[in-house]
Amino acid sequence: MRVSRSLVITLLTLLSMAGFAVPASAATGKYVALGDSYSSGLGAGSYGTSGSCKRSSNAYPQLWANSHSPSAFSFVACSGARTGDVLANQIGAVTADTALVTISIGGNDAGFASVMTDCNFGSDSTCVQRNQEAQNYARTQLPPKLDQVYSQIRTRAPNARVLVVGYPRMYKVPGYCYAGLSETKRSAINQSADVLADVTRGRAAARGFTFVDGRTAFAGHEICASGTRWINSWAWPVEESYHPNVAGQSGGYYAAVRAVTG
């Protein structure tokens, strides 16, 4: 028997009103994509009219919306965003009827963009020191900032499924690059990715959110990996450096998110 879409929606609504939890993957309700450049799709091109936010039609939130046809889609992730920017400019998109939220945030708070610049133009010791500073910030100052963001998401959307999407490791170490940054620098940068993942995973778990590990999603496709690289190395425009490319948004992030949501 063929069941109409309107009947399915009605039944899901009645179940929700009766107190039964309806999975976001089944309800295909409103989807809100929050976060920074890793969610907006900087590095993957095709930014349309999104201006400095660099929202790409190749970004994983747009790919998920295209394939799942949510009842509403708010793509408000913006390149350069920090936790404070999410609270000031993005969180308003999250409403009580939101079924799914994805978010990547925290890297800009910890200053990893400037870390990458310093590692490209500084010595090994400078790069290691800058990574240690960023790691210390991530451990000591980032957690309460993440808590504020996650708390607001839950308050505004009590029944939403929330996926906290982590950052990948930049490099395969040891790898197949014979120029560019030293192995010392690459290892220090990867260590920062690990610290940020540990901190983010912990705060997400404390709120009951699902952590999507970017390191696992991009494994074997980092810079210097032998396989197809899903992360830009030094690129032009410069702002697209060290961000997922089209293949990374699709094969890395979108595939990982879909593995969770169905």
Domain count, the chain: 1
Cα gap 200→209, rounded to integer Å? 10
- 59 Cβ partners below 8 Å, 6+ apart? 33, 39, 40, 41, 44, 75, 77, 249
User: What is the model's pLDDT at position 179?
Assistant: 85
User: What is the model's pLDDT at position 187?
Assistant: 97
226 as an active site residue: the answer is no
User: What is the model's pLDDT at position 208?
Assistant: 97
Q: Does residue 128 lie within any of the structural domains? A: yes
Structure tokens at 110: 């910890």
Q: Does residue 3 lie within any of the structural domains? A: no
Cα gap 121→11, rounded to integer Å? 59
User: What is the model's pLDDT at position 28?
Assistant: 76
Q: Which of 40, 50, 104, 243 is catalytic?
A: 243
Q: Which of 6, 37, 52, 241 is catalytic?
A: 37
Q: Does residue 224 lie within any of the structural domains? A: yes
Domain residue limits at 73: 26-261
The enclosing domain of 244 has a CATH number of: 3.40.50.1110
Structure tokens at 38: 């890793």
Q: Does residue 1 lie within any of the structural domains? A: no
> How would you label 146-169 residue by residue, b for 16+ Cβ within 10 Å and e otherwise?
beebbebbbebbeebbbbbbbbbb
Cα gap 256→260, rounded to integer Å? 7
User: What is the model's pLDDT at position 202?
Assistant: 98
Say how many residues make up the chain.
262
pLDDT by position in tens, the chain (length 262): 344 444 444 444 443 434 444 444 434 799 999 999 999 999 999 999 999 999 999 999 999 999 999 999 999 999 999 999 999 999 999 999 999 999 999 999 999 999 999 999 999 999 999 999 999 999 999 999 999 999 999 999 999 999 999 999 999 999 999 889 999 999 999 999 999 999 999 999 999 999 999 999 999 999 999 989 999 998 889 999 999 999 999 999 999 999 999 9
User: What is the model's pLDDT at position 17?
Assistant: 39
